[in-house]
Every structure is written in structure tokens, then in C-alpha cells.
Structure 1
Amino acid sequence: MDPVLSLRALNRAAMERQLLLRRTDLSVVEVVEHLFGLQAQTPHTWYAGLWNRIEGFDPLAASALLDKRELVRIALQRSTIHLVSARDCLALRPLLDPVTERGTRSTFVRKLSGVDLDELAVAGRALVEERALTFAELGKELAERWPGNDAHALSQVVRWLVPLVQVPPRGLWGRSGPIAHTSAESWLGNSEPPMAAEEMVRRYLRAFGPASVKDVQTWSGLTRLAEVFKGMDLVRYRAEDDRVLYDLPDMTLPSAEISVPVRFMYDFDNAFIGYADRTRFITPQALEVGGAFVKANVQWRLILVDGFTAGDWTVSTEKGTSTLTIHQWKPFAPADLREAEEEGARLLEFLAPGDRHEIAAVLGASRS
């Protein structure tokens, strides 16, 4: 019989592997590689994800790693923008190519007429390696060569055919810039052997496990990974709902009774997005309030209390005062609220160091 893991045990394991039980002394690159990338759809909110995990985190030092090309932002898992190390960018992109291909063929390739994809790849690569281009600029250039075709579709097909990184100043701390792209190969100037699917699964489990095949498929966007799991030396568990979960033989599990700190999570944290079954963090109450965020097209920023979603947080700024508001979906216990207020004050100091600061606590989600 496979050992059964309670929901609380899964939560504690995920908190530990996501470096949320306690902040780490690992370097920024080491943390990014351990987490197997951070979703970075927005240019800056991922900095809060690293602040959550690294003791004494310096956003300017992390920003410099983008300039030094040790970190990059590129479409990878689920064909969404992720912050990854240079090594993982070059190794993981070929493995995840089918994810981007699947969406690109169904949405954009069918809009093209008389376009040879090999020729498009060569032309697109030459253009972005001559100078970094936005998709609008790239599409305009390509449409001159293939008149009558949709310029946006042409640029998006190149996004699949050529690994494209977003170049600074986009993504730098305290700065902004156009969403301009060049090829990963020209930007990084070296190569890495493609990552095998087995190595990807091992890396995922080290950062997210124990987890199911479906969890890894949801995180990566790949399909048909069951055969990969069958060929690996893994230990098995069962969730309380009888789902089969896998883990690495050398990984231990923390006590389900260990206390965990209040955490303010950033909007696209993979701790939530990286699972098919998100109940190890997401409560039924979160599902109830989540509809209002979806309706408003707002990505929530969640507060974890005792490891589980208990509220969300917002920041507003007016006349030099930044206010972080703790939105309690139900009243926090007094000790939890004090801890949330203290952690919120530290987060606000990180996000708005030059402002006056206020912490507010209210009942109800920020969207309803």
C-alpha cells in the first residue's frame, strides 16, 4: 500500500520545497534554478516572489543579473514568460517546444498563406539578431516580405520557431522599456544540450513534489508524461482522494504539524499555477471569491495563513504614502493578523522604500 499523505502534509512539503517555510541564503540564480523558473508575465512582480524566499534579497542585484545575461525572461512552461537562468533557458526550450508549437499552429499558422516556415524562421532570426525588435516591429518587417499575410501572425510564428528572450531594460528593477526580443542564442552566446524529460521531472519534483503526472503536465504544458514516470526510480504516495503522487527517493517530507509563517504571494507565483490540483494551497473559500477576480480580469495576490489561502493584498499610493491593505476573507486570529501586519510592513518597505507607509486590515476580498 502506498503511504497516504494528508492535505496538510502536502501543504507543508510544498511550502518547504518552494522555500516558503523560511528564507534561504542561496544566491538568486540558485533559487531561480531550484524553483525551475518563476513565472514573469509582468515585468516586475516576480521580484516579490524572490523577496519572499531569499534572506536579505537585493532587487538591484537581481536586476543586474538580467543585464549580465545570467537570468533571462523567455516563453517556456505553458508558453508563458518565465524568469530562468541562462543554462535552463537553453536546455529547457527545446524540450518545451511542442507546447509553443501546439498553440501557435492552432492560432497563427493557419492564418498564413504561401509562407515557408523554414524561410520564415531564417528571416525572423536575422531580423531580431540585427537589433532587438518588438512583435509589432518584427511583424511589419516580415509583412513586407510576405505581403497579404497578417503581420501579428507572422511575428507570433517566429516566436515559436526562434527562441526569443525579452531584453533589458524591460524587467529591470525600477525601470521599464519596450517588449523587445532577440534570439536566445545570440543573447547568451553559448549553447546547452537539450534537457531530457526525465531530468525535467526530477527538477520539478525537487521544487514541487510530491506530485502527480497531471501536475507536471499542467506546470509544463507537455502531455503524455506517464511513460516518462514509468521509466524512473520514484517513490509513490497517495493523496486523500486516492490520486497517485510521485517523489524522488532522496527527498524527505517535513512534519505535517510544523508551523509556517504568513506569506504574501505575488500574482503569478508558480506555487499555485504549478499544479493541476491546487488544493494544497487553494481553499474552497478561495474558489468562491476567485470568480470576482476573473470577472474583473485582475490577477489576485494571495495571503497564506497557516500555509493556506486566507486573504489577498493590495497596495495603493497617494501623495507620497503607500498603503498595503490586508483583505481578510474571514477574520484572522489575532496572532495571525499581527504577523500579517508585520510581514506586510516589511513587504511595503521593499516595494516602496522612499514612501511613507501605512498598513490597513479590512474584512472581505479586494474584489467582490
Structure 2
Amino acid sequence: MASRTTHPVLDTRSLNRATLARQLLLSRAEMSAADAVGHLLGLQAQNVKPPYYQLHARLAGFRPAELAGLMESREVVRMVTMRSTIHTHTAHDALTLRPLVQPARDREVNYFRKGLVGVDLDRLAECARAVVESEPRTMGEIREELLKHWPDADPQSLSVAARCRLPLVQVTPRGVWGRSGQVRLTTVENWLGGRPAGEAATQSVDDVVLRYLAAFGPASVKDMQVWAGLTRLREAFERLRPGLAVFRDENGVELFDLPDAPRPDAQTPAPPRFLPEFDNLLLSHADRSRVVTPEVKGRTWTGNQAHCTLLVDGFVAGLWKAEEGNGVTVELFGEVSAVRKEEIVAEAELMISAMGDSGSEPGRGSVRFGPIRG
């Protein structure tokens, strides 16, 4: 194995531009929403609207109806996968990625074992499956059914066990732009017409490493472990090492990448981009300094709530909030040039026009600079 000191060094700006290129944020891609969801290995989706905003920032001509249609036709689904959080996945990835992260979900159940004394987890999974496959249910309804079998168990622990042991998807209209609905759940197999999870061949760890690098690289082993919520991925990287490009960052951390993946010049222009809360870009590396500088670290969160962020020159430079009446408030962390400010306004107006509930053009004064309220 070559010494790490022989590997080329990628400075922070080079890592930034490479990651933005993989994330389709240097220029909007001429790509379908379905292809983009697949390329990005899913979209973080704790809330309903963020996946739509993620695609607007990345795709040319994207309109919410495109992703909404995929939700309604069941070509994409919402379910718990990486990091035990809700993601929007293609149907294929929903079926084949969830088995890959199942060990992490099993470990999660172990944290709640005190509330599950006397509960047979295999039987619990069978009972929960029968309940949700008879018709989609709320988590409260699932919990009530399970309490009939285990009345002395902790209700919250039963909920966690059901969510972790079964690949549950949120059925529409939940997740459809412009519509609302309670979170109702069924199994991914049931929702997708009886196809068993992992039917074609659960994606191998090696395949997912390569896909992760295509969407988030260059990256370290620890970066991918943070993204996936998994451990012990070093062996997969070592198996793949002969076919990968290897670099190191300015701190000496070893980074892996696909040999032919784009790594633009560090001075490549990066236009402003408005990202929703919990955007994949900000959650998929152990070291996020490639996008979040030390000066602004911690300013994108309040408690456990993530804010919508603004990229300027490729780095987080402020927050934004959609206001009633199709307006946007932008809070900058520092001074920007007049030209940059014009670019920010133009990008905000594009977002308002494409994503505004009315579909109307932004009016005068629709973009305001100042503190974010609330």
C-alpha cells in the first residue's frame, strides 16, 4: 500500500468544487427528476417540501409536478433508510438499499430493549406487517395493535421496533406537492406491488461505495460511514482501492474517488444556490468544511432544527426563509459585492417563480435582505 504522503493533496476549494459538481450544483443538469434521485442515492426528506427544493437547485427546468407525479405513480417513495431518517428514493433503491442498512436499524432497536422485555421481535414484525398490509396505518394505529399483544411493553419502544424491523413507506398523498395527509404506512413490498425487498439482488456494499463517491466524492471512509449510518466500511474501500483514485486533504485524511469523476479547477465559478433544510450536501460527510467554513459552523442549526441555507461561491454564506406571498428573506453572514447580491436576487426570483404556490412571477420587493425571524 502506498504511503499516504505520496497521494496528491486536494485543498478545501478543490474538494468544494468536486463535490458541487457531483451534487449537480455547479450548473443545473439536464436530467430527469427520477434520474437525479437515483444519482444522488435519495433525497433527505424529513419534511415534505425539501426534496422538491433540492431538485430545483440542481435540475434545469424542474417543476414540482414532476416529482409529485413520480410519487403518485410509485416510481419514488418516502421511507427510513440512511441515518434512520426519511429519504425519498427511487423504487429500485427503496427495495435494494434498505436491506443494506438493516443492521443499523437492528442496532437501533437494541437501544430500546428495556421497553421491549418479553417481546418476540420476529413475532412483532409479523404482527405489524399484517396490520399495515391490510391497509396503510398511522404509527399510532400500529402501536395500538401491538399493545394488544404486549400490553406491558413501552408504547414508544414498540413503535421504534416496528419502524426498524419493517421497511415501511409513507403512502401518498403524503409527500405530494400541494397536497396534505397524515403519515400512513405500509411495507415497501406491498406498496410496490408485492416485489420483495432486495428481490433483484440487494446492492452490494461495494456498489454503493462507488455510487456514493459518484455523488459525494472525493470522500473518506468515515465520510461514507456518516452518510450511511453504518460502520466497518473500510474493508469495502480496501477491496476497491486498486480501481480508485486516492488523494488526501490538507489534514492528511485519505480520500477516495472514481478515477474519471469530475474534479473541476478550484477557481471554477459557483453560482448562488438556495438549499432547503436538511439538504444532502450538508449531511453526507464527517468533515463538512468543504462546504461549511469554520467561521459559520453551527449557524445553520437552532437546536435540532436545520435552517434553509444559501451557497455563495460554493460555501454556506447565509440563511433564507420563504415568506407568505411568495417572498424570500435572505440573511447573509457577511458582506458580499453588489454583483454577488444581484446574482443572489436573480437566483431567489428564479426559485420563487418555479416553486411559488401560485406559479406567478415574483413581484417587486419579493427578495428582502435582513435577519430571519422565527
- Shorter-chain TM-score bucket reads over 0.9
Alpha-carbon distance in structure 1 between the residues aligned to 2:108 and 2:352: 38
Task: Indicate the residue corresponding to 2:3 in structure 1.
Answer: none
Aligned partner (choices 42, 46, 50) of residue 51 of structure 2:
46
Task: Indicate the residue corresponding to 1:30 in structure 2.
Answer: 35
**1:112-170 CA-partner distances (Å, limit 9, x unpaired):** 12211111111110100001011101000111122222233212201111100010010
Q: Find out whether 1:306 has 2:313 as its counterpart.
A: yes
Q: Find out whether 1:366 has 2:361 as its counterpart.
A: no
**1:183-212 CA-partner distances (Å, limit 9, x unpaired):** 011111223311111111000000010000
2:108 and 2:164 in contact (8 A); partners too? no
Q: Which runs of 5+ in 1 are unaligned?
A: none
Deviation at 1:171, TM superposition (A): 0.4
Task: Indicate the residue corresponding to 2:11 in structure 1.
Answer: 6
Residue identity in the other structure for 1:165: V
Residue identity in the other structure for 1:305: V
Alpha-carbon distance in structure 1 between the residues aligned to 2:298 and 2:35: 36
Taking only aligned residues, the RMSD between alpha carbons, in angstroms, comes to 1.6
Residue identity in the other structure for 1:325: T
Identity of aligned residues (%): 41
Deviation at 1:367, TM superposition (A): 6.8
Task: Indicate the residue corresponding to 1:205 in structure 2.
Answer: 213
Deviation at 1:288, TM superposition (A): 5.4
Residue identity in the other structure for 2:372: S
TM-score computed with the length of structure 2 as normaliser: 0.93
Deviation at 1:285, TM superposition (A): 2.3
Aligned partner (choices 235, 240, 258) of residue 245 of structure 2:
235
Q: Find out whether 1:96 has 2:101 as its counterpart.
A: yes
Q: Find out whether 1:192 has 2:234 as its counterpart.
A: no
Alpha-carbon distance in structure 2 between the residues aligned to 1:360 and 1:54: 22
- Structure 1 residues 107-122: aligned runs within 5 Å: 108-122=112-126
Task: Indicate the residue corresponding to 2:322 in structure 1.
Answer: 315
Alpha-carbon distance in structure 2 between the residues aligned to 1:199 and 1:43: 29
Task: Indicate the residue corresponding to 2:174 in structure 1.
Answer: 170
Residue identity in the other structure for 2:208: M
TM-score computed with the length of structure 1 as normaliser: 0.94
Q: Which runs of 5+ in 2 are unaligned?
A: 1-5
Alpha-carbon distance in structure 1 between the residues aligned to 2:345 and 2:11: 30
Aligned partner (choices 84, 92, 103) of residue 89 of structure 2:
84
Alpha-carbon distance in structure 1 between the residues aligned to 2:202 and 2:174: 27
Q: More deviation in 259-268 or 247-256?
A: 247-256
Alpha-carbon distance in structure 1 between the residues aligned to 2:68 and 2:262: 33
2:80 and 2:168 in contact (8 A); partners too? yes
Alpha-carbon distance in structure 1 between the residues aligned to 2:279 and 2:357: 23
1:205 and 1:211 in contact (8 A); partners too? yes
Distance 1:367 1:103, change over 3 A: farther
Aligned partner (choices 135, 145, 156) of residue 149 of structure 2:
145
Alpha-carbon distance in structure 2 between the residues aligned to 1:47 and 1:246: 30
- Structure 1 residues 184-333: aligned runs within 5 Å: 184-189=188-193, 190=195, 191-232=199-240, 233-287=243-297, 289-290=299-300, 293-295=301-303, 297-317=304-324, 321-333=325-337
Alpha-carbon distance in structure 2 between the residues aligned to 1:168 and 1:226: 38
Alpha-carbon distance in structure 1 between the residues aligned to 2:282 and 2:134: 38
2:348 and 2:367 in contact (8 A); partners too? no
**1:206-228 CA-partner distances (Å, limit 9, x unpaired):** 00100000000000000011111
**1:85-123 CA-partner distances (Å, limit 9, x unpaired):** 0001111111101122222210x2330122111111111
Residue identity in the other structure for 2:254: V
Alpha-carbon distance in structure 2 between the residues aligned to 1:348 and 1:104: 42
Alpha-carbon distance in structure 1 between the residues aligned to 2:171 and 2:102: 20
